[in-house]
Every structure is written in C-alpha cells, then in structure tokens.
C-alpha cells in the first residue's frame, strides 16, 4: 500500500515537472519571437509621423530631420511668456513643406498662358503683320482685344496708339512689330505701380510690433480660399511668418481647407464655429498674430454676394473689428479671370464696399481672356498684384508686367 502511495506521489511529481518544463519552454521560445519584431519594428514601422494619433517622438523626429532648414516656427513659445494672462497657446505648427521661391514664378508658369498667348499675342501679331492694314483689319484687331477681355477703354486707346505708331513706322518687320506691341501693351498695363503685397507691420499704441494684416475678399468660387493658402506660401517663401484667419465661416469646408494649406508651411489657422461671426474670427486671428509675433495675418473672408448692403455690413464689420488692434495694410480682391464681364461687375461691387488695394486674378491658366488684367486695373484703378496660373500649391505668381507681356507675345 505504502509502495503504491509512493508510486502515485512520484508519478504526480513527474507529470508536474514535465508540464512545467513544457510551459517554460513554450514561454521562452515565444519570448524571442515577441522581441524580434519589437527590435525590428523601428525600420519596419518608422512612424512616418504625419498621421494624427502617432506618438510624439516619431513626429518630432520627422519634423527635425526634414524641416529644420525651412522656416523657423518657434516664436510662439517665446512670445507666450510675454502674455501671462493668455490661454496656454497650442504647439507651434511645424511646416511639412518648403514653398518654392517666388522670384521668377511667372516666367516658370508662362506656358500656362498659352490660350491667352494664342488669342491675344499671336492674334495681334498676325493681324499687324498683314501687308495692308485696312479698316477691316483694324476692326479685327479691335475685336481680338475685346474678345480677350481687354475692355472697351483700353482697347480704344491701344488701337489708336498702334495705328499711329504703325503709320509712323511705314514698313514693318516682324521684330519691329513685336517690339512695338510689347511697348504698347506694357503702357496699358503700367510698369510703375507698386505690386508688392504689403507686409510691413505697424506699431501699437503701447509701442509693440503689429503684424501686417491682409484681408482677402471675393465671391465664393473665385478661388479665394485657395489663393489665401497659396499666398501664405508666397509670404513664407519670402521669409515671413504667417497666421491665417478662417473668417469664411459660412462655407463648411473653408476653414479645414485653409488649415491644411497653413499646416503645410507652418502657419497657424485661427478658426471659429461654423456659421459663427466672421469678425470675431478675424479679431482672434490678429490677436494670435500679435501674440506669436507673426509678420503677416492673412484673413480669408466670406464672399456671399447676396446683397450689397449685406456684404458691406459684413466686410465693414470685419475691417472695423480688426482695426481695433491695428491697421489693415492690404485688401486683396480675388477675381476669376474666366468670368469676364461678370468678374468686372463683382470687382465694382467690392470696390464700393471696401477699399481694395490689390487684385488677384485667378484661373488665368487655360483662359483666352488674359486681357482682363488691363480691364480690371482700369476699372478699379488698382494694380493686379498676383495671378493664379493653376491648382498647384506654388501656382500663384507675383504679377510682373514684362514677364506677362513677354509670355503673351511669345
Ligand atoms: P472660394 O470659394 O472662392 O474660396 O474658392 P476655392 O478656393 O475653394 O477654389 C475654387 C476652385 O478654383 C478650386 O477647385 C481651386 O483649385 C480652383 N482654383 C483656384 N485658383 C485657381 C487657378 O489659378 N487656376 C485653376 N485652374 N484653378 C484654380
């Protein structure tokens, strides 16, 4: 009996030992397998870092590695200390892209003016090269200008001057004609105007520095929000720090759209609740710009052209409220170059409502109506400062009359 009991006890102990060994082996054989992916993970899972929700270290690593040579987006933390009462500021927005330099952009984009080039530049050169410049030909020249949206006033002026100069010239070589047309187109467009976007800030009553404030106005659909985003890139490329104000609170996607543009170049976007008061967003954006020590605050406004009084009230209020903190340096009117006369009517309404200081002509790519540059400047007496030549992020170019005319006449 005792022997039997001893045998049973021995058997239990033996089974226990064997199963313990198995469990230990299973664990120890799994452990390295578990460890291996963990050590192998960094290369396989380098946390590209852009996606929301990624842990902080990889994000920081990506930003430092890739973007430090770009714009330094570090001011907010520094300025914060000066604002003891302010709500804790959000983290600086690290840029993910470095925008292209703005110098020579129009030259780079000249091919985008192909349709205007054919319709206006080549059209005029071909007509002017005819052996006999009779009344019919001059009428065709006039039609070419009007069809390209040059506008009645500038067209009449241009035709008169061309007639006079061709008469004086007598025989015409193609080179002489090109030079003559170049001069006359430039004379209508004007080469003296200051076409830079004003980025000099002001000084507050307390002697503190104020950012330059730029209001971007225009009817929805003209490319206003896109232009505001692209303009942020232009300004950053030229060495400015920028804060964006998403004061187009009526179009649901506008604030998101703007924020995405801003994030790419390290510009913070100040936004409010959807349908909220645009003026209060504009005010907050300027305040943020002051606290960050930003160079420029760009404010995208709502462009609902319901009634002129409504528009006037809205934009007037935005401007007044912004001016409580500092002057508005620039009011840029965005116009869609493809809309022809409609665009000019819009321009007139906006100019009556707010003091437009510069024009941005969008969608000049793929339109034959490049002449709108002349018409709209004449209409408002305000220079075209920027032109949109495509949907790409760096397809907004400072307007240079010479480069523009050279592109037109090839
Ligand atoms: P908003 O309603 O005035 O703010 O208009 P958006 O900024 O949303 O732009 C309307 C559309 O115009 C978008 O599809 C833009 O990509 C497009 N757009 C803006 N500027 C240009 C341009 O210069 N060229 C072209 N081809 N499209 C443009």
Q: Which atom of ligand 1 is nearest to the CA of 229?
A: 7
pLDDT in tens, 195-246: 999 998 988 888 889 999 999 999 989 999 999 999 999 999 999 999 999 9
pLDDT of residue 400: 97
Place of tokens 């291996």: 36
Q: Which atom of ligand 1 is nearest to the CA of 219?
A: 3
Write the residue with the smallest CA distance to atom 16 of ligand 1.
391
16 CB within 6 A, ligand 1: no
pLDDT in tens, 133-146: 999 999 999 999 99
3-state secondary structure the chain: CHHHHHHHHHHHHHHHHHHHHHHHHHHHHHHHHHHHHHHHHHHHCCCCCCCCCCCHHHHHHHHHHHHCCCCCCCHHHHHHCCCCCCCCCCCCCCCCCCCCCCCCHHHHCHHHHHHHHHHHHHHHHHHHCCCCCCHHHHHHHHHHHHHCCCCHHHHHHHHHHHHHHHHHHCCCCHHHHHHHHHHHHHHHHCCCCCCCCCCCCEECCCCCEECEEEEEECCCCCCHHHHHHHHHHHHHHCCCCEEEEEECCCCCCHHHHHHHHHHHHCCEEECCCCCCCHHHHHHHHHHHHHHHCCCEEEEEECCCCCCHHHHHHHHHHHHHHHHCCCCEEEEEEEEEHHHCHHHHHHHHHHHHHCCCCEEEEECCCCCCCCCHHHHHHHHHCCCEEEEECCCCCCCEEECCHHHHHHHHHC
272 CB within 6 A, ligand 1: no
User: Is 284 marked as binding a ligand?
Assistant: no
Range from 74-88, 137-151, 158-172, 258-272 carrying the lowest mean pLDDT: 74-88
50 CB within 6 A, ligand 1: no
pLDDT in tens, 111-141: 999 999 999 999 999 999 998 899 999 999 9
Q: What angle do CA 52, 55, 60 make, to 5 degrees?
A: 90
363 CB within 6 A, ligand 1: yes
Query: What are the domain boundaries of the chain?
Result: 109-189, 212-400
User: Is 102 marked as binding a ligand?
Assistant: no
Mean pLDDT across the stretch 12-34? 37
391 CB within 6 A, ligand 1: yes
229 CB within 6 A, ligand 1: no
273 CB within 6 A, ligand 1: no
339 CB within 6 A, ligand 1: no
Q: Distance, CA 224 to ligand 1 centroid (Å)?
A: 7
224 CB within 6 A, ligand 1: yes
How far is CA 67 from each of CA 42, 70, 96, 98, 179, rounded to the nearest angstrom? Answer: 21, 5, 6, 8, 46
Write the residue with the smallest CA distance to atom 17 of ligand 1.
223
Structure-token pair, residue 234: 């232009």
Contact 265, 233 (CB under 8 A): yes
Would you say domain 212-400 falls under CATH 3.40.50.300?
yes
365 CB within 6 A, ligand 1: yes
pLDDT of residue 274: 86
Q: Distance, CA 221 to ligand 1 centroid (Å)?
A: 6
Q: Which atom of ligand 1 is nearest to the CA of 396?
A: 23
Q: Distance, CA 368 to ligand 1 centroid (Å)?
A: 17
User: Is 191 marked as binding a ligand?
Assistant: no
Q: Which atom of ligand 1 is nearest to the CA of 334?
A: 3
Across 12-21, 279-288, 338-347, the highest mean pLDDT is recorded for: 279-288
Where is pLDDT greater, at 326 or 332? Answer: 332
Q: Please give the model's pTM, rounded to 2 decimal places.
A: 0.79
The 8 Å CB, 24+ separation contacts for 372-375 are: 372/149, 372/150, 372/151, 372/335, 372/337, 372/340, 372/343, 372/344, 373/189, 373/399, 373/404, 374/150, 374/151, 374/154, 374/188, 374/189, 375/149, 375/150, 375/151, 375/154, 375/344
Question: What CATH homologous superfamily does 109-189 map to?
Answer: SRP54, nucleotide-binding domain (1.20.120.140)
User: Is 363 marked as binding a ligand?
Assistant: yes
Distance CA 233, CA 266 (A): 9
Q: Distance, CA 170 to ligand 1 centroid (Å)?
A: 46
Write the residue with the smallest CA distance to atom 26 of ligand 1.
390
Q: Distance, CA 349 to ligand 1 centroid (Å)?
A: 21
């Amino acid at each position: 009996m005792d022997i039997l009991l001893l045998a049973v006890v021995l058997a239990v102990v033996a089974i226990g030992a064997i199963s313990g060994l198995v469990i230990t082996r299973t664990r120890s054989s799994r452990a390295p397998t578990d460890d291996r992916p963990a050590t192998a993970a960094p290369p396989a899972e380098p946390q590209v870092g852009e996606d929301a929700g990624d842990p902080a270290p990889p994000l920081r690593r990506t930003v430092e590695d890739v973007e430090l040579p770009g714009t330094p987006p570090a001011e907010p933390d520094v300025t914060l200390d000066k604002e003891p009462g302010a709500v804790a500021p959000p983290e600086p927005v690290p840029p993910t892209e470095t925008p292209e330099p703005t110098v020579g952009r129009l030259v780079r984009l000249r091919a985008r003016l192909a349709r205007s080039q054919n319709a206006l530049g080549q059209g005029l050169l071909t007509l002017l090269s005819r052996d006999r410049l009779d009344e019919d030909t001059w009428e065709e020249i006039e039609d070419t200008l009007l069809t390209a949206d040059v506008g009645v006033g500038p067209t009449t002026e241009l035709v008169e001057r061309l007639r006079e100069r061709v008469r004086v010239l007598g025989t015409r070589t193609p080179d002489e004609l090109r030079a003559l047309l170049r001069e006359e187109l430039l004379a209508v467009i004007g080469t003296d105007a200051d076409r830079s976007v004003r980025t000099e800030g002001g000084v507050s009553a307390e002697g503190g520095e104020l950012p330059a404030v730029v209001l971007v106005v225009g009817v929805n659909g003209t490319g206003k929000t896109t232009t505001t985003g692209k303009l942020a890139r232009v300004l950053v490329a030229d060495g400015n720090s920028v804060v964006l104000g998403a004061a187009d609170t009526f179009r649901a996607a506008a604030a998101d759209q703007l924020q995405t543009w801003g994030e790419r170049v390290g510009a913070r976007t100040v936004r409010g609740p959807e349908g909220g008061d645009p003026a209060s967003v504009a005010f907050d954006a300027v305040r943020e710009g002051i606290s960050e020590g930003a160079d420029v605050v760009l404010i995208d406004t709502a462009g609902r052209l319901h009634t002129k009084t409504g528009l006037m009230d809205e934009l007037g209020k935005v401007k007044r409220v912004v001016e409580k903190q500092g002057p508005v340096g620039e009011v840029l009117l965005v116009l869609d170059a493809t809309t022809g006369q409609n665009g000019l009517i819009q321009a007139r309404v906006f100019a009556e409502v707010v003091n437009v200081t510069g024009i941005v002509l969008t969608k000049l790519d793929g339109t034959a109506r490049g002449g709108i540059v002349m018409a709209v400047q004449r209409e408002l007496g305000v220079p075209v400062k920027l032109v949109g030549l495509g949907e790409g992020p760096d397809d907004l170019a400072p307007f240079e009359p010479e480069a523009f005319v050279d592109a037109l006449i090839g």
